[in-house]
Homo-oligomer: A and B are copies of this chain.
Amino acid sequence: MCVRVQADPFDFGAECDAFASGRHHVGAVVTFCGIVRDDGGLQAMEIEHYPAMTAPAIEAMVAEARTRWSLADALVIHRHGRLTPGERIMMVATAAPHRADAFAAADFLMDYLKSRAPFWKKEITTAGAHWVEARSEDETALARWSDETARR
């Protein structure tokens, strides 16, 4: 289990390789990488976070995922600060004996990170700067894990 919150870039390929290495009791590794997407006119993305809360909140999400699925390991890396289009914002990796668990846990962690980890994105575009608004689709995605919602 590893959670890293950092301003520096991370090496997605090296992280994937290291995460999948030396595993004999794991059949499945799933990784996700989030990339700053240029929908036109985006110059930069500024990501603010809540340092005292961020890592503990993500660690709680990972702990919750471990109670729900049979996981051998999980990794979350999330950047903050200023990023430009094409840069990698964050990644999640999960390792499990079976693929269904690895997929579900990665999907779950992404939904929680998106809407419950204390990050806020500001887009700097040629037309000005604005805070990214939360999307209703993201709350809908979270609601899929409704047992969890009920338990909280």
Listed in ascending order, the chain A residues whose CB lies under 8 Å from chain B are: 11-18, 20, 22-39, 85-86, 88, 97, 99-100, 102-103, 106-107, 110, 114, 137, 141
Contact = CB atoms under 8 A, between A and B. Distances in A.
Nearest to A100: B141
A33 B103 CA distance: 11
Contact of A34 (B38, B99, B141): B99
A44 to B, nearest CB: 13
A52 B38 CA distance: 41
A15 to B, nearest CB: 8
A85 B24 CA distance: 6
A17 B28 contact: no
